[in-house]
Structure 1
Amino acid sequence: MESPPSSFSTFRSYLRALAQTPSRFAHRAPSVSSSYEELSWVKSRSGSNMHKSLRWYDLIGLGIGGMVGAGVFVTTGRASRLYAGPAILISYAIAGLCALLSAFCYTEFAVHMPVAGGAFSYLRITFGEFSAFLTGANLIMEYVMSNAAVARGFTSYLSAAIGIPTAKWRFTAAALPKGFNEIDLLAVAVVLTVTLIICYSTRESSILNMILTTLHILFIIFVVLMGFWKGDWNNFTRPMNPNSPSGFFPYGPSGVFNGAAMVYFSYIGYDAVSTMAEE
């Protein structure tokens, strides 16, 4: 049986589909798919099967890269200074435990339903189309904002490393609201470069991920070793500024959990592994 034409096949088809949006929404929003539909019907409508280009160690590298991303270098200092203090260790343990529990859920779904849809498909068979749409939109915004924050953090670190003020990399757009009007040219260049590499080839982007993940792990090992060698145990109990709160819990339990909420940002990305379940 011939499949119906796509809503984007012609401009007239698009206008017709646009006019049918309210009725389609009312019909599909509460509807719930089944695992069989996701594994067979949805895949058949997606077209020909894509060639598998990733191997088991690529998937492991992508999983580690998602959990040990650049966010760990961006959030740790701020969370420690503003919220948790030395108890940032406990904040990371709490955030890691929460990420682990979420990873178990993703693993269970990925084994049960090995499709490329990820969280969108999982929610579509549990809560329906509308919940899946909201989650998909939130995931897109999550990745956009987290990538922007990491790219901007890269500019700050590079500026500090080479001794050039961060303001030199940015220009102000008068038409934008204050606080959102500084355009970071280097961060934009980093995001565009990574995007082009990802769009060029899945295989090459996996190789780049393996290289960057290896560098991240080496940097973390370096920081840990330098901390044991050059660190001062008094920093756990006595601040450099006498007017600042002191002790291992300078901001109390609430500061530890606030710090955990911030450093959880470092684990964003591990859920993307489940979207590669078909590999």
Structure 2
Amino acid sequence: MTTLSNYFYSLSQTPHRLRKRMLATWTPDQEFNQVRQRSGADMKRKLNWYDLIALGVGGMLGVGVFVTTGPVALHQSGPSVFISYIIAGISALLSSLCYTEFAVQVPVAGGAFSYLRLTFGEFLGYFGGANILMEYVFSNAAVARSFTEYLSFAFGENNPNVWRVEVHGLPKDYNMLDFPAVALILLLTLCLCHSTKESSILNLIMTVFHVIFFGFIIVAGYYNGSTKNLVNPKGIAPYGVRGVLDGAAIVYFSYIGYDSASTMAEEVKDPYKSLPIGIVGSVLITTLLYCLMALSLCIMVPYNKISDKASYSMAFLKIGWSWASNIVGAGASLGIVASLLVAMLGQARYLCVMGRARLVPSWLAKVHPSTGTPLNATIFLGKQIVCHQILLKIFSYE
């Protein structure tokens, strides 16, 4: 009888305990000295400021600029699409400054989840972290599936389903198994489990080649284009200020990933110096590249003749450089791999820190003592991405 009374008493206290837990906050000292110990081992501090810049640039320079620039130039901004990128870049820079301030004050993994949890409590922290993780898994599934499409373009094949396996008996749009994307995710998961430093070096190499690829498009656009296309046929801003601002809201999608460096705070040798340089520097470099890319497209082709889809590939076809469209596919494929690597790197840190807070099963918080990586979280999320992208056409840029 006493046990039953204790049970009902505990049950009656649930709302009070839940309210107390929801509003509970942690100090940075508690985060450093108590919560972080729940991982069993520390992440290894091996990253420098240039690693963080490469992670930020690699995370942002995915396929966003190829997907958004053409449609925005055609329907919203016209030749002034580069101004839209400047406005979006300023907005991303201001947000990155907020991340920088938090990251320097609280240099722990977990990014926005950690900052929300320490400031507003575990309730808002949990929902913020859960939404970010959902965004990571869904967007990574979409990007991985688009890898097959751009890879097919690189080999001169316009139908990406040639690389996929059709399963008869499944409903239409759910019957194309994308095994190249599965292989890519599994390879990146293995790389991330092995070592953060080696993953960072791989990202650095891919990012350098991707920037060189961007440079090719920029130079080729200026070489084959004419500045008259910036004012013809209806001026530099045919849709007015409203169009430029609407375009800025859309191209902001291309800046997603600037927060990736903040999730690596526990693995940086000198976080107080390297984090500001890495976060802000990556946004500035990316903004410059995006503006030059947008200008090259509008110089190469008048804005009203830009294709809605595969804008850069179609622009090269219109000027007679059909071989360059294959290079665009290859470069975009490389950018997808780099952005996937960075995103999967960040998502594992989010889940690891949520495990430390015991908002998800604590085994997800474990850090491998040899590799210094959140092994369980990395493998778990890799499996989730595979499950989401292997069948569903909804996670595709088709």
TM-score (norm 1): 0.77
Residue equivalent to 1:262: 250
Which structure has the highest helix share of the two? 2
Compared with structure 1, are the counterparts of its residues 130 and 172 closer, same or farther at alpha carbon in structure 2 (3 Å cutoff)?
A: farther
Query: How many Å separate the matches in 2 of 1:106 and 1:247?
Result: 38
Structure 1 residues 71 and 148: CA distance shift in structure 2, 3 A? farther
Q: What pairs up with 1:196-235 in 2 under 5 angstroms?
A: 196-235=190-229
Q: 1:176-229 CA deviation, whole Å, 9 max, x = no partner?
A: 6x6666544333333332222222221221111001110111111111111111
Structure 1 residue runs of 5 or longer lacking an equivalent are: 1-19, 240-245
| Counterpart in the other structure of 1:126 | 119
Letter in 1 for 2:202: L
- For 1:22 and 1:179, locate their aligned partners in 2 and report how far apart those are by CA, in whole Å: 45
- CA gap of 1:66–1:168, structure 2 versus 1, over 3 A, is same
Deviations 1:227-254 (A, max 9, x none): 1111133433446xxxxxx543344444
Cα shift at 1:98: 1.0
2:102 pairs with 1:109: yes
Aligned pairs (5 A) from 1:80-229: 80-164=73-157, 165-170=159-164, 175=170, 182-229=176-223
Taking the aligned partners of 2:245 and 2:166, their CA distance within structure 1 comes to 35
| Alpha-carbon displacement from aligned partner over 1:84-120 (angstroms, at most 9, x marks no partner) | 3322201211111111111111111111111112211
* 106-115 vs 152-161, which moves further: 152-161
Displacement after TM superposition at 1:146 (Å): 3.0
Sequence identity (%): 55
CA distance in 1, matches of 2:64, 2:184: 15
SS of alignment partner, residue 277 of structure 1? helix
Instruction: Give yes or no for the alignment of 1:36 onto 2:24.
Output: no
Separation in structure 1 between the aligned mates of residue 14 and residue 68 of structure 2, nearest angstrom: 41
Alpha-carbon offset, residue 32 of structure 1: 2.4
Q: Deviations over 1:7-36 (max 9, x none)?
A: xxxxxxxxxxxxx99876443222222223
The count of corresponding residues between Structure 1 and Structure 2 is: 253
Q: Equivalents in 2 of 1:236, 1:181: separation in Å?
A: 44
Contact in 2 for aligned 1:38/1:121 (Cα 8 Å):
no
Residues in 2 aligned to 1:73 and 1:51: alpha-carbon distance in whole angstroms: 36
More deviation, 181-190/104-113? 181-190
Return the letter of the residue paired with 1:113.
V
Q: Secondary structure at the residue paired with 1:51?
A: coil
Q: Any idea what the Cα deviations from partners look like across 1:35-78, whole Å, max 9, x if unmatched? A: 23222221233333233232333223223323334433343334
1:270 alignment partner, SS class = coil
Structure 2 letter corresponding to 1:141: M
TM-score by length of 2: 0.56
Q: How has the CA–CA distance of structure 1 residues 79 and 194 changed in structure 2, closer, same or farther, with 3 Å as cutoff?
A: farther
CA distance in 2, matches of 1:254, 1:153: 31
Name the aligned partner's letter for residue 263 of structure 2. Answer: T
Task: Give the gaps of 5 or more residues in structure 2.
Answer: 1-12, 269-398
Partners of 2:179 and 2:231 in 1: CA distance: 40
Matched AA of 2:27? S
CA deviation digits over 1:146-179, x for unaligned, max 9? 3333334433333223221223234567656x66
Cα 1:153–1:38 change in 2 (3 A) is: same
Distance 2:50 2:183 in 1: 29
Specify the SS of the correspondent of 1:53: coil
